[in-house]
Structure 1
Amino acid sequence: MVVYKQANTLQELEQILDLQQRNLPKNISQEESTKEGFVTVEHTMDVLQAMNEVCGHIIAVDESQVVGYALCMHPKFAEDIEVLRPMFHEIDKALKGKVNYIAMGQICVAKTHRGQGIFRKLYQTMKEKLPIGFDTIITEVDGKNPRSLAAHAAIGFKTLAIYHSDDKEWHVIMLK
């Protein structure tokens, strides 16, 4: 049985990084990235831990193994991951500071557990665990990741902005 909760041990954070590694474009084929999707950012343990201390990452655990995660990223980390800096700039430009939001820094479900509703349940749990005063989740998806774009649209994400950075088209999307 899959349990959904906030990460609170070093072992869970290590398992998040392991699952992340298994889904980076450099570690999967082009065919697999097109069909199954991929993750873009490669986090360090230091940044992952710091983010988790502010707002615990949401994880799906099956028999003590992390099989899915949604990383919670408070806007105060906007400058900490270079590839995400343009996203925060676009969010600030679109919202003009009118919405308190948590960025979903990355979501991933293990290949063995896809198609079981884990993606949806990770977001549902994230909404339930948002810090007081936050009512919106914002993330971005690479335009070359149609599986992720479709999955986010299916649970109610709406486009906030589309921009180009590092020869990529990014879709900034929001869930209220």
Structure 2
Amino acid sequence: MIEITTSNTSSDLEGIIILQKKNLKMDLSLLEISEQGFVTVSHTLDDLKKMHLHEKNIIAKDGEQVIAYVLGMTEQSKNDIPRLVEMYESFDHIQFKGMPVGDYHYIVVGQVCVDKNYRGQGLFDQCYEAYKNHFASRYDFAITEIAYINLRSMKAHERIGFKTIYTYTDVAGVAWNVVVWDWR
């Protein structure tokens, strides 16, 4: 029986890491990357615990196994995880509906992933619906960055309602789409 809930225990956070490691771009073939999508950032248990102090994550579990997740990161997370500082600071220069993103009260989708054995069953949509239900009363919108080459992820996010508001190329030459799911 699949249950969609919030991350509540260290075991839940460890389950996120296990699923994340199976889907890291650096560990996938080019075919898997193009057909199945990927995640880019590898979090530590300490990273997830720090993020969890500010907001919980949405997870799907089959028994005790985490089979999907959508991470929730707040602006406080940038102080806990130094590699996030650049992303959060870039939001001050990106406009959304005539204002800098940094002027809004938003939550960052730190990452989303569905176990490959459970794809195509609607879990992505269900987890995001739970994410919206959990956070929409406290935040104006959800925002995230998706690698331009991650077509599966882009299409899935657009289906949910995310819109691209900015595109840029980082210092490593990777093109990114900044997308927003407006809840107001």
* Superposition TM-score, scaled by structure 2 size: 0.89
2:74 aligned with 1:74: yes
1:154 aligns with 2:159: yes
Could you list the runs of 5+ residues in structure 1 that have no partner in the other structure? none
Q: CA RMSD in A?
A: 1.5
Deviation at 1:50, TM superposition (A): 1.0
TM-score normalised over the length of structure 1: 0.93
- Displacement of 1:74 in angstroms is 0.5
Runs of 4+ in structure 1 deviating by more than 4 angstroms, as ranges, are none
Q: How does 1:90-129 map to 2 (within 5 A)?
A: 90-94=90-94, 95-96=99-100, 97-129=102-134
- 145-154 or 128-137: which moved more? 128-137
In 2, the alpha carbon distance for the partners of 1:161 and 1:90 equals 11
Shift of 1:91: 2.0
In 1: Cα distance, 2:63 partner to 2:158 partner: 30
* 1:76 CA drift (Å): 1.8
CA 1:60/1:8 → structure 2, altered by over 3 Å: closer, same or farther? same
Alignment of 1:1-176 (within 5 A): 1-79=1-79, 80-82=81-83, 84-94=84-94, 95-96=99-100, 97-130=102-135, 133-165=138-170, 166-176=172-182
State percent identity of aligned pairs: 38
Task: Note if contact 1:37-1:146 (Cα within 8 Å) is conserved in structure 2.
Answer: yes
Equivalenced residues, count? 175
Task: Tell me by how many angstroms 1:86 deviates.
Answer: 3.7
Cα offsets for 1:109-168 (capped at 9, x unmatched) = 000100111111111111111175313100110011011011101111001211111210
